[in-house]
Structure 1
C-alpha cells in the first residue's frame, strides 16, 4: 500500500511541476528542462528517504528495500524524462 501511495505522490508531483513549467514557458523557455531536472532530484531525495525509513525504522534489510526504491524512484523518473523528450 505504501509503495502505491509513493508512486501516486510521485506522479502527482510530476504533474504539478509540468503544469508550472507550462505556465512559465512563455517567459522562461527552459522551464520544462528545469522542471524535469528539479523533479528527478527532488524525487531521488524522497525515494531515498522512503528507503531510509524502511531500513532504519521498519527494520527491512537493504537488499529487500532496494527493489522497492528502484520502483518508487524509477517509474516517475522515467515518466518525467519520457514526457520531456516526447511532449515538450
Structure 2
C-alpha cells in the first residue's frame, strides 16, 4: 500500500509541474518538456529518499528495497517521458 501511495505522489508532483510550467513563464517554448526535465531529477531524489527510509527505518536490506525503488521511480518517470514524447509529436 505504501508503494502505491508513493507512486501516486509521483503522479501528483508530475501533475503539479505540468500545470505550473506554462503559467510560470520560465518554460520557454515548450512547457511540457520543461516540466518533465524538472520532474525527473526531483522525483529521483524523492525515490532515493524513500529507498533510504525503507532501509534505515523499516529494516529492509538494500537488495530488498532496490526493486521496489526502481518501480517507485520508474512508473511516474516513464509516464512523464511518454507525455513529453506525445506532446512533442503533436507540437512538432
CA root-mean-square deviation? 1.9
Matched, 1:20 2:26: no
Deviations 1:22-50 (A, max 9, x none): 3356x721332221111000000000000
Equivalent in the alignment of 1:65: 65
Q: 8 Å contact 1:21–1:31 — kept in the other structure?
A: yes
Aligned counterparts of 2:20 and 2:67: Cα–Cα separation in 1 = 31
Equivalent in the alignment of 1:80: 80
Secondary structure, counterpart of 2:49 in structure 1 = helix
Matched, 1:41 2:72: no
TM-score, structure 1 length as denominator?
A: 0.89
Equivalences, count? 88
- The unaligned stretches of length 5 or more in structure 2 are none
Q: 8 Å contact 1:55–1:61 — kept in the other structure?
A: yes
TM-score, structure 2 length as denominator?
A: 0.85
Shift of 1:57: 1.2
Q: 8 Å contact 1:11–1:76 — kept in the other structure?
A: yes
Shift of 1:79: 0.3
